[in-house]
Amino acid sequence: MASLHDQGVQELLTDPNYAVISTLNRDGSVHNTIIWISAEDDAVAVNSALGRKWPTNLQRDPRVTVLVQEDGNPYRFVEIRGTATATREGAVEHIDALAKKYNGQDKFTGGKPGDERIKFVIRPQHVRYVSQA
């Protein structure tokens, strides 16, 4: 099994590669959404606004899978399965850091007035890294 600290995994998480987050709907079906992601020590972190579908799912059921694939090479990817913990502390700073990583902007400008940010820290239980040409 791979680790978040493996060089290839770190490259995927550090570079501005998009991720797909998979959460469970109330009826047990899977909900997938493209998101931004960052590495944090022995975890990864994602961010959204309160009230959206996938954060609501994670607040109800913390089991989650994220798949990060290299931009331009979908056969190089990391799959991370684990559990998420929600926090609002540092969520605004985190979305600003993600905006810098993905858009080169110092502040996130994609929200709606009144949005309240929520950050999820995902502790991996399984990490799978694949690198094919």
Judge contact between 14 and 39, C-beta under 8 A.
Answer: yes
SS3 4: coil
Which residue type occupies 68?
V
pLDDT, tens only, 26-41: 999 999 999 999 999 8
Task: Using pLDDT thresholds of 50, 70 and 90, give the confidence band for residue 1.
Answer: confident
Half-sphere CA count of 93, side-chain side, radius 13 A: 4
Half-sphere CA count of 75, side-chain side, radius 13 A: 3
pLDDT, tens only, 84-127: 999 999 999 999 999 999 999 999 998 888 899 999 999 999 99
Fold of the domain built from segment(s) 7-131? Pnp Oxidase; Chain A (2.30.110)
- What is the CA angle 70-56-99, rounded to 5? 40
| pTM, 2 dp | 0.95
Provide the residue ranges of all domains of the chain, joining segments of one domain with +: 7-131
